[in-house]
Chain A
Amino acid sequence: MPAVPISHFLILSAVLFSLGVLGVIIRRNAIVIFMCIELMLNAVNLTFLAFSNYLNNVEGQIFVFMVMVVAAAEVAVGLAIIVAIFRLRETVHVDEIKLLKW
């Protein structure tokens, strides 16, 4: 049987989440920012699964399933918004899209 401490998985999840936060802050391309959000969602999924295994409880797995559904929906709508903004402004850089209205 696998004998890896749960804490290892949690620390890996913390690493991935921090990298996602870093990417959201320092990147300018809206598409890459979306990828970093996906990274953070996956870090959370890893935490869910680690605790699901630790508590021997199926609810963590159901939650991961729901997170995946929401992530898929979010990406579909978010990328459509980015395409719409690109048509209007010819850019996907977030520092050039800072007005709510134009």
Chain B
Amino acid sequence: MTTVSQAVDSATASATRTAVCAYDRLTPDLGVAALVGGQQVAIFRLSDGEVYAVQNLCPFSGAYVLSRGITGTRGDVPTIASPIYKQVFSLLTGECLVTMDKEPKPGIAPDLAVYPVTVDNGQVYIDLAGGE
């Protein structure tokens, strides 16, 4: 469902980034959702200050809810758990680490798209084109 626009040249990626909110608007470990170019993105500021962005769509329920999940770690990997059926995903790669013995909805990949985030001058930017 989250289609990444291939039309944008990655060399110009910095020009494709979108400002979503002030860094201070993000509470540690509490996600927010943002609408970026029609896409729903889930953004997390973790307790170490790092910010990550992934698709907001939960592949296993088909609902746009990941911003409302619980952040955590598995080993050293920062994670987000879906609030619906509790699957756990890596915030670094989007990989689904715990499937809870479920299959994703038909036509949706189990892993998440992750988007580069930059914090510039107190502003948080998401780069949809840099998504994978």
- Tell whether A and B belong to one assembly: no
User: B residues within 8 Å of A by Cβ?
Assistant: none
User: A residues within 8 Å of B by Cβ?
Assistant: none
